[in-house]
Every structure is written in C-alpha cells, then in structure tokens.
Amino acid sequence: MTPATHQTSPARLEARISQETKALVQKAADLEGRTLTDFVVASVQAAAYRVIEHHQTLKLSIEDSEAFVDAILNPPKPNEALKSAALRYKQTMSV
C-alpha cells in the first residue's frame, strides 16, 4: 500500500502598491530575467529569512562574551538556596 500524497494548493497574497513601485519592481524582475511574481516571492522570502535570523540570533558585546566564558570556566559556588532546591528536586524525583 502506498502512502497518500498530500498536495497543498498555493496560497494567495495580494498587495496594493503604487504604479511607480510596480514599475520599479517590474524593472528589477526584468533585469534578473524573472517574472514579476517569481521576483516578488523570492524577494519577500529572502527578506523574511533575514528578519527571522536577525531576531533569533543572540549577539553579545565583547564584555558580555567575556563574562559568559568566565562564568562557564569559573562557575560560582552554589549558595544555600541552590543547595536547598537541588535537595528538594532529588527528594521529589526519587519518590
């Protein structure tokens, strides 16, 4: 028995733009030898990936990077609250 194939139909996206903007985008598409639709879809997709990557990337300053590495290499000794929490965790998980 072969698995069922799920085909999804393309979604539609509409936008109202000025004639000047449409002419600009059309010229760019023509210069790349693409259709207007292909150019717009590829451009929007590339922009979406850039925005998502920008928001998902953690950027640290030099000082932050050094503090992070120092905390990993030289972790502070556990305080009483942490020791108590660890003990409660062990007691809860061993039941």
User: Under a CB-based contact definition with an 8 Å cutoff, are residues 29 and 39 in contact?
Assistant: yes
Angle at 49 between CA 45 and CA 53, to 5 degrees: 170
What CA–CA distance (Å, rounded) separates 3 from 29? 39
Q: What pLDDT digit, counting tens, does each position of 40-90 carry?
A: 999 999 999 999 999 888 888 999 999 999 999 999 999 999 999 999 999
In this model, does residue 25 exceed pLDDT 60? yes
Number of domains in the chain: 1
At 2 the pLDDT is: 54
Domain that holds residue 32: 19-93
Residue 8 located in a structural domain: no
The model's pTM: 0.57
| Residue 54 amino acid letter | H
d(CA 87, CA 93): 10
Instruction: Look at residue 38 and give its three-state secondary structure.
Output: helix
74, part of any domain: yes
